[in-house]
Structure 1
Amino acid sequence: MRTFIERALKKLPKMTAEQITDLLIRTAAENERLESVLDSLAEGLLVCDADFNLILVNKSAERLLPLVFHDQLERPIWSSIADDRIADFLQRTLLEGDRVLDREFDVEVKGIQRLLAISVLPLVKDRRVTGSLIHVEDITEKRAKEARLRRAENLASLTTLAAGVAHEIKNPLGSISIHIQLIQKALQASRAACSDEPENHEPVTIQAAPFDLLEKYLAVVNEEIDRLNRIVVDFLFAVRPMNMELREGNLNSLIHELVDFVHYELEENHIQTVLELDEKLPTLCYDERYIKQALLNLIKNAIAAMNEGGILTIKTESTGSEVHIYISDTGIGISEENLSKIFEPYFTTKETGSGLGLTLVFKIIKEHRGEITVKSKEGEGSSFMITLPIPQKETKLIAYGGDQP
C-alpha cells in the first residue's frame, strides 16, 4: 500500500478528481485497517515524535495505563501519564536517549492492581530515529503463572524431600538410641559397684572409666543431635517459600567479599584463586543473602573437589540481556552418570554431605528467574554457569534526527 501511495502521489498532478477520490477512500480504508490492528493488540503501544509529543496510542495502552488526555494537541508523553513513577521513568529515559527493555511497574488502574513491563524503543524510518515507541505489556498473569509453577515444582519435589529426610533422620536417631543404651549400661555398672559396698559402709572408690565412657557417649549423642538439627533446617529451607528482598547490587563486589571470606580455607587447601570479573558488569536486582549462599555453596563444593590443591576460577560477563557467573575448578570432576542427578534433593557423593547444597543453589537461582548449568569431566574438574537476567538493557540511541552512516 505504501508503494502504491508513493506512485500515486507522483502522478497526482495528472490525476482526475475521480482518481483522487478513489485514492483517498483507499488510503482511509487502509488507515482504518491499521488502526483496527493496533487496537486489537493485547499489548499497549504509544508513539511519540522526535520532540516527545504523543501522536498515537492504542486501546490496550488506554486500558493498561493511567492516562490523562489534554486539550492541546502537542504535549510531552510523560505529561499524559498519571502515575508519577512511570512518568518520571519515561521523561528520564527519553531525554537521556536510552533504550530500555521490560522495566516493571506495579500500578493501579480503575481499582485493579497490575504488574506492567514497559519498554522504550527507537522509532526508525529510513535508517533515522524519528521518534520513540513505548511498548506496555500486562505481565500480572504471567508472573502469577510462574509463581504457581514454582509452587507446583516445590510440591512435586516434596515427596522426594520427605523420603530423603526420613532416611537422613533415621541414621542419627539409630546412633543416638545405641549410645543411650550404652549410657544406661554404664550407669547400671556404676550402681552395681555401689551396691557391692561393704557392711562397714566404707566408701568404695568408683573407677573413672565408666564416667569417661559416659562423656564419650554423650559427646556422640550431642553430635548426632546437631546433625539432626542441620538436616531439619536445610529441609525447611528447601520447602519453604523464599521471602525475596531484591536490592540493586554489584555482583563483582559480592564475589570479592566471598573470596576474602574463604581466603584462609583456600590457602590451607593449596588452592589458587583466579578472578576474571567484567568491569562493565551492570547492576542487578537480587537478594544478597541468598545469592551469597548460592555462590558460597558452589565455592565450598569446588574446594572439596580439589583435596590435593588446584585452581578456582570465578568469572563474570555480561551478554547484554544476561549476566553469566562461572565457578570452575580443576578437581576430581563429576561422572557422566551423576551429572544429571547433582541438583536432585539428597543426592550426594560425599560421605558427610547432606545432599541439599546444590538443591538449594538451584532453588535460589530459579527464584531469581535465572538458570544454572554444569559442565564436568572426571579427573579434569567442573564448571558451573549461573545465568541471571538483566531487567533492562540500556544503550544510548542515535540523537533524534541524526543520520546513520
Structure 2
Amino acid sequence: MPISNLIDKDLLFKILDVVEAGIIFVDREGQILYINNSAEQYRNIKAKERLGTSVVMCHPEPVHGRVREILENFKKGEIAKRHKIIYTNGRYYENVYNVVRDENGEYLGLVLETRDITEKFMLEKELKKMNEELERKVKERTEEIRIAYEHLRKAQEFLMQAEKMSSIGRFVAGLAHEINNPLDGIQNCIRAVLSDPDDKQKLREYLNLALEGLYRIELIVRRLLDYAKPHIFEKEELNINDVIEEVLAIVQFRINEKKIEIKKKLSSAKLIVEGDFHYLEQALTNIVFNAVDAVDFGGRIEIETGGDKETVFIKVKDNGHGIPEDILSKIFDPFFTTKPSGTGLGLYLSYNVISGHGGKIEVKSKVGKGSTFTVVLPRKTLNVQEKDIKYEGSYY
C-alpha cells in the first residue's frame, strides 16, 4: 500500500503543527486554508479567526500592497521568492512563497513558509556595525599614520638642516684653522722684521717665510673655490681599469720615493661605468695618495677591481698605520686632516665626486693594520659571456 494512503489529513496537520517554520496555505485567490501552530505564534494570530480570510491581513499594514502584488505575480507564473518583513512584535522574519500546482500544471495556490531570522538578522546587523567601526578605526589610524609621517618628515628636514648647519660650522672652523696657521706665521715674520729692520739677512729669510705663508693661503682659497663650484660631469662610457692605470701613472713618483710595493688585481672583464674620466681620476688619485701617505717606507698597497651585473668596485688596501675609530667618521669632512701639510679637501672631493656618479665609498680600518677604501659605482653594461678573471701583478 502506498505510504500516501497511510497518512490521512489529520495526521498531516499534526506533523505540520510540530514544524518549526510557520506554514500557511492559501488558495489561488489568496484566502487562507490552513495555518500551523508556528505561524500562529510568529504572527500572533488565531487560526480559527483567520481561516477563509485574505492572507494579506496576516501581514503588517505597511506591506499589504506589496503582498497583494506578490500574489498577483504568482498567478502570472512567478517562481518562489524570499521577502524579509518586520512584524509588530519586533522580531525579524523571512517569508518564502512556494507555488502549488496540480498534475496538469494549473495554479492552485501558495504555501507561505515563515522563519524567524531575528538572531541571524541581528548578527548581520552587528557584523555590519563592527565593519563600519573597523572602517572608521582604519580611517582614523590611517590619518594618525599620515600625521605621524608628516611629523617624521618635518623632523627629518629639521635634522637635515641641523646637520647642514653643523657641517657649515665645521667647514668654517676648518677654513679658519687652515688660514689662521699661515697667517700667524706671516704676522710673526712681520713682527720680527719690524723689531730689527736693519738685519738684511734676517729680513730676506722672514720675507721668504711670509711669502710661503701667502702661497699656502692662496692654495687653500684656490682649492676651496674649485670645490665650491658645482660639478658638471661630462659623462662617457669608460673602463674603470683604464682610470686606475692612469691614476697609478700619476702617483708613480711618490711610489718610487717610498719604495712602495703595488699589487694589482684588476678584472679582465670590461668594467664599464658612465662617468667623467677627469673627475673620477682625481677622486681615485686622492684615495691612492691617501694610501701612499699612510704607509711607511717599503710599504704595500693592493688595488683590486671587480663587479657584478649592477655595480663595479675599486678596492685600495694599504698596510699603513690605520685610522683611529674616533676619527673614522670625519675623514670625508672638509678641512679634516691628520697630515701636517694637508688641506683636508682631497677625500672631501672624492666623496662628492663618487656620490655625484651615483656611487659610494666604504672605509674599513684598524689601527696598526691598515685601511681599505672601497669605491662602488653603477655598472653601465655587462657582457654575460665574459668571466670576471683577475690579472695580478706586483711592482715597486
TM-score range, shorter chain: 0.5 to 0.7
What displacement does 1:263 show?
2.0
1:185 aligns with 2:195: yes
Misfit runs of 4+, over 6 Å: 150-156
- Please state whether the residue corresponding to 1:262 is helix, strand or coil: helix
1:164 aligns with 2:174: yes
What displacement does 1:350 show?
1.8
What displacement does 1:338 show?
1.7
**Letter matched to residue 371 of structure 2:** S
What displacement does 1:256 show?
1.3
Partner of 1:75: none
- Please state whether the residue corresponding to 2:196 is helix, strand or coil: helix
Partner of 2:307: 318
Flag the structure with larger Rg: 2
Q: CA 1:231–1:175 in structure 2 vs 1: closer, same or farther (change >3 Å)?
A: same
What displacement does 1:151 show?
12
Aligned 8 A contact 1:281 1:323 in 2: no
Distance of 1:318 and 1:175 partners within structure 2: 49
1:217 aligns with 2:206: yes
**Letter matched to residue 339 of structure 1:** L
Q: CA 1:352–1:228 in structure 2 vs 1: closer, same or farther (change >3 Å)?
A: same
- CA RMSD after TM alignment: 2.3
Q: CA 1:258–1:155 in structure 2 vs 1: closer, same or farther (change >3 Å)?
A: same
**Letter matched to residue 178 of structure 1:** N
**Alignment deviations for residues 180-223 of structure 1 (CA, whole Å, 9 cap, x no partner):** 12223332xx3xxxxxxxxxxxxxxxxxxx22111111111111
Distance of 2:163 and 2:379 partners within structure 1: 24
Distance of 1:260 and 1:278 partners within structure 2: 18
What displacement does 1:387 show?
0.4
- Please state whether the residue corresponding to 1:266 is helix, strand or coil: helix
**Letter matched to residue 176 of structure 2:** A
Q: CA 1:373–1:266 in structure 2 vs 1: closer, same or farther (change >3 Å)?
A: same
Partner of 1:294: 283
Partner of 1:16: none
What displacement does 1:264 show?
3.0
Distance of 1:241 and 1:213 partners within structure 2: 44
Partner of 1:254: 243
What displacement does 1:395 show?
4.9
Distance of 1:219 and 1:299 partners within structure 2: 32
Counterpart of 2:217 (choices 221, 228, 234) is 228
What displacement does 1:325 show?
0.5
Distance of 2:314 and 2:162 partners within structure 1: 28
Distance of 2:218 and 2:279 partners within structure 1: 20
Partner of 1:285: 274
Distance of 1:295 and 1:169 partners within structure 2: 27
Q: CA 1:276–1:153 in structure 2 vs 1: closer, same or farther (change >3 Å)?
A: farther
**Letter matched to residue 219 of structure 2:** R
Q: Which residues of 2 match residues 25-104 of structure 1 at below 5 A?
A: none
Partner of 2:6: none
**Alignment deviations for residues 18-38 of structure 1 (CA, whole Å, 9 cap, x no partner):** xxxxxxxxxxxxxxxxxxxxx
Distance of 1:381 and 1:175 partners within structure 2: 34
1:338 aligns with 2:327: yes
**Letter matched to residue 222 of structure 1:** L
Aligned 8 A contact 1:345 1:355 in 2: yes
Partner of 2:262: 273
What displacement does 1:334 show?
1.0
Moved more, 253-262 or 330-339: 253-262
Aligned 8 A contact 1:281 1:317 in 2: no
What displacement does 1:257 show?
2.0
Q: CA 1:264–1:169 in structure 2 vs 1: closer, same or farther (change >3 Å)?
A: closer
Distance of 2:164 and 2:263 partners within structure 1: 36
Q: CA 1:232–1:155 in structure 2 vs 1: closer, same or farther (change >3 Å)?
A: farther
**Letter matched to residue 231 of structure 1:** I
Distance of 2:263 and 2:275 partners within structure 1: 24
**Alignment deviations for residues 152-176 of structure 1 (CA, whole Å, 9 cap, x no partner):** 9877733321221122212211211
- Please state whether the residue corresponding to 1:374 is helix, strand or coil: strand
What displacement does 1:394 show?
5.4
**Alignment deviations for residues 39-73 of structure 1 (CA, whole Å, 9 cap, x no partner):** xxxxxxxxxxxxxxxxxxxxxxxxxxxxxxxxxxx
Partner of 1:357: 346
- Please state whether the residue corresponding to 1:277 is helix, strand or coil: strand
Distance of 1:382 and 1:333 partners within structure 2: 5
5+ unaligned residues in a row in structure 1: which ranges?
A: 1-149, 191-209, 397-405
